[in-house]
Chain A
Amino acid sequence: MKGLQATSAFVGLCLVGLCYPQEQSSQKSLPYTTVDHPEFIPAARAHFMGGDDRIIGVMDGKIAKAYAASILTQHGVVQDRLAAGPIAVTW
Chain B
Amino acid sequence: MFRAQAKGKALEFDTAGVIGGNEVFKDRQTGSRWQQSSLEAISGPLKGEHLHLFPFLLTNWSEWHKVHPDTLVLKPTPGYADRLAEKNAEIKEGLSGKGVAPPGVLRQDRRLPPKAMVLGLDVNGVDRAFPLTALRAVHLVNERFGTTPVVIVHQPDSDTTTAFLARLKGQTLRFEAVDAHVSGMIDLETRSHWDPYGLCISGQLRGSQLDSLILEPEYWFAWSEFHPDTSIFTAPAGSAR
Contact = CB atoms under 8 A, between A and B. Distances in A.
Interface in A57-80: 57-59, 63-71, 73-79
How many chain A residues sit at the interface, stated as a range, is 35 or more
Interface string A1-16: 1011111001011111
Q: Interface on chain B toward A: helix, strand, loop, or mixed SS?
A: mixed
A4 B18 contact: yes
A10 B55 CA distance: 28
B36 A16 contact: yes
B23 interface: yes
Interface stretch (B3-11, B148-156, B183-191): B3-11
B22 A46 contact: no
Contacts, number: 253
B72 A64 contact: yes
Interface of B: 1-5, 10-19, 21-25, 36-39, 53-62, 64-65, 67-77, 79-81, 83-88, 90-91, 94-95, 102, 104, 115, 120, 216-219, 222-223, 226
Interface of A: 1, 3-7, 10, 12-22, 25, 27, 30, 32-36, 38-43, 45-46, 48-59, 63-71, 73-79, 82, 84-90
